[in-house]
């Protein structure tokens, strides 16, 4: 069953096109990712899907309802956590959750049970009397998620929920999301972290408001035109400059710690071409080898193909 669908969804702010004819769909119980750099249009897309913003073109549907005309009904079925979720710093953890329970009309025994469940679920029970302003970044995100879940939504929209959160808290946050998936909650997450993109069942790459590609991580990697070659180097920056000159603009070259990586397109053995380009250098380099592409390789490759140049 289709839970979220965007059909030529667009949004302009004056002359600026933030979202440009976006088409995508998300299935029930799916963990779906919207991946892109800052300014790609992720937050605007989230606001359009949640009914916070009206589109200037196209339409969005959530749970079969058109968002433009039935936003109020949709709000009862979704949980939306923006980048700066509206927590009240002077209120305690318990008071913040109670406030959102009041907003959504959750009361009586159902409320008592749900609050207790969320406090245990998020690990916030020991901190229920602590002011939200005194929580760590990761704990604030967990509290924001608990508030978004107070009314047991069928769809969860999370706008860059782990942005600026430490690695341990990010891991804990993802564990919570996986538990929600077992309850058949549909989770739509935006992120700029390409390492997180591997977690999604399917994902969409967004750039300058436009959809670059959509699919499973494995399918996107398989569709990468070319192969990724990696070589160790004592001078990776110099090696990257040398490779860019030898391979041309159609082959993006990057640096990862003490390794240089290149997406090699065109005829011939890719590793041999890299080895030949690095041979005779005044700095030592290891033997080049073909490696499994990452989603970052896929994203960079798509951008270079789109722009006609390597970054």
Domain boundary among 203, 219, 235: 219
pLDDT of amino acid 307: 63
Please tell me whether residues 282 and 178 are part of one structural domain.
no
Domain boundary among 219, 240, 274: 219
pLDDT of amino acid 311: 40
Q: At 308, is the pLDDT very low, low, confident or very high (cuts 50, 70, 90)?
A: low
Please tell me whether residues 235 and 152 are part of one structural domain.
no
Rounded to two decimals, what is the model's pTM?
A: 0.89
Residues 93-138 have pLDDT tens digits of 999 999 999 999 999 999 999 999 999 989 999 999 999 999 998 8
Please tell me whether residues 189 and 211 are part of one structural domain.
yes
Domain range for 281 is 224-307
Torsion of CA 54, 57, 60, 65, to 10 degrees: 80
Please tell me whether residues 62 and 199 are part of one structural domain.
yes
**CA–CA dist 85, 148 (Å, integer):** 9
CATH number of the domain within which 45 lies: 3.40.50.300
Please tell me whether residues 255 and 210 are part of one structural domain.
no
**CA–CA dist 295, 264 (Å, integer):** 16
Domain count, the chain: 2
Q: Which residues contact 263 (CB under 8 A, 6 or more apart)?
A: 224, 226, 227, 228, 251, 252, 253, 293, 297, 300, 301, 304
pLDDT of amino acid 22: 98
Please tell me whether residues 214 and 114 are part of one structural domain.
yes
156: left (phi over 0), alpha (psi -120 to 50) or beta: beta
Residues 183-194 have pLDDT tens digits of 899 999 999 999
CATH number of the domain within which 295 lies: 3.30.70
Please tell me whether residues 154 and 293 are part of one structural domain.
no
Please tell me whether residues 36 and 137 are part of one structural domain.
yes
264 and 227 in contact (C-beta within 8 Å)? yes
Q: Is the pLDDT of residue 310 over 70?
A: no
Please tell me whether residues 98 and 191 are part of one structural domain.
yes
Please tell me whether residues 135 and 118 are part of one structural domain.
yes
């Amino acid at each position: 069953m289709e839970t979220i669908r965007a059909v030529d969804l667009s949004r302009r702010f004056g002359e600026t096109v933030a979202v440009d004819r976006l088409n995508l769909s998300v299935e029930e119980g799916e963990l779906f990712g919207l991946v892109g750099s800052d300014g790609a249009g992720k937050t605007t897309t989230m606001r359009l899907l949640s009914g916070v913003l009206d589109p200037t073109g196209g339409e969005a549907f959530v749970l079969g309802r058109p968002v433009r005309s039935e936003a109020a009904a949709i709000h009862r079925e979704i949980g939306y956590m923006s980048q700066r979720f509206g927590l009240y710093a002077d209120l305690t953890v318990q008071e913040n959750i109670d406030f959102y329970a009041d907003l959504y009309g959750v009361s009586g025994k159902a409320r008592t049970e749900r609050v207790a469940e969320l406090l245990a679920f998020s690990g916030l029970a020991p901190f229920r009397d602590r002011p939200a302003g005194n929580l760590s970044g990761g704990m604030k995100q967990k509290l924001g998620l608990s508030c978004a879940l107070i009314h047991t939504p069928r769809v969860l929209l999370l706008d860059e929920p782990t942005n600026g959160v430490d690695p341990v808290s990010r891991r804990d946050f993802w564990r919570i999301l996986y538990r929600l998936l077992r309850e058949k909650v549909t989770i739509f997450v935006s992120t700029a972290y390409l390492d997180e993109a591997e977690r999604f069942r399917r994902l969409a790459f967004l750039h300058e408001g436009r959809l670059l590609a959509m699919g499973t991580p494995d399918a996107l990697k398989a569709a990468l035109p070319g192969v990724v070659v990696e070589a160790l180097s004592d001078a990776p920056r110099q090696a990257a400059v040398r490779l860019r000159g030898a391979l041309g603009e159609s082959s993006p070259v990057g640096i990862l710690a003490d390794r240089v990586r290149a997406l090699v397109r065109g005829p011939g053995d890719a590793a041999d071409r890299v080895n030949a380009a690095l041979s005779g250098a005044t700095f030592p380099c290891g033997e080049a080898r073909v490696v499994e592409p990452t989603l970052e390789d896929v994203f960079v490759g798509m951008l270079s193909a789109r722009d006609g140049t390597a970054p």
